[in-house]
């Protein structure tokens, strides 16, 4: 085998391995607003003032949404979804602001109805 043929074969082998690696990595599913709403559904009673503390199911949903919003785009989409849902369910602002903390999460910002989801 010549040096050129060996080099070409090596490049093709590396390219094949790279393609195989790409195929082996599962694609990350995008978070959707219906997914967010479904995960947050157990929190309705707390958010509307019917419960003093969020339930374990509510906190599991909050953590699931937090984990799924793992990119800038996903966080923006989740923010917009929750902002719209907040208005539709007549949530109490104090409950919405307390929910992450009550479920053991530190968002690093304060939830408000006017929050800018693009920042």
Span 6-34, pLDDT tens digits: 333 233 333 333 333 333 334 456 789 99
Superfamily of domain 33-102: Plant lipid-transfer and hydrophobic proteins (1.10.110.10)
Nearest to 77 by CA among 28, 36, 29, 26: 36
Contacts of 105 (CB under 8 A, 6+ apart): 62, 63, 66
The whole-number pLDDT of residue 67 equals 94
Phi, psi of 36 (to 5 degrees): -60, -50
Contact assessment for residue 61 and residue 35, using Cβ atoms and an 8 Å cutoff: no
Report CA Rg, the chain. Answer: 22
pLDDT digits (tens, 9 = 90+) for 99-110: 999 999 998 888
The whole-number pLDDT of residue 1 equals 54
């Amino acid at each position: 085998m010549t040096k050129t043929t060996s080099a070409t074969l090596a490049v093709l082998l590396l390219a094949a391995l790279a393609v195989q690696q790409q195929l082996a990595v599962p694609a990350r599913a995008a978070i959707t607003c219906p997914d967010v709403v479904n995960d947050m559904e157990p929190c309705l009673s707390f958010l509307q003032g019917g419960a003093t503390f969020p339930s374990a199911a509510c906190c599991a949903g909050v953590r699931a949404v937090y984990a799924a919003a793992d990119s800038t785009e996903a966080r923006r989409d989740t923010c917009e979804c929750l902002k719209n849902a907040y208005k539709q369910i007549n949530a109490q602002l104090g409950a919405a602001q307390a929910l992450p903390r009550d479920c053991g999460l530190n968002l690093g910002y304060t939830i408000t109805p006017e929050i800018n989801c693009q920042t």
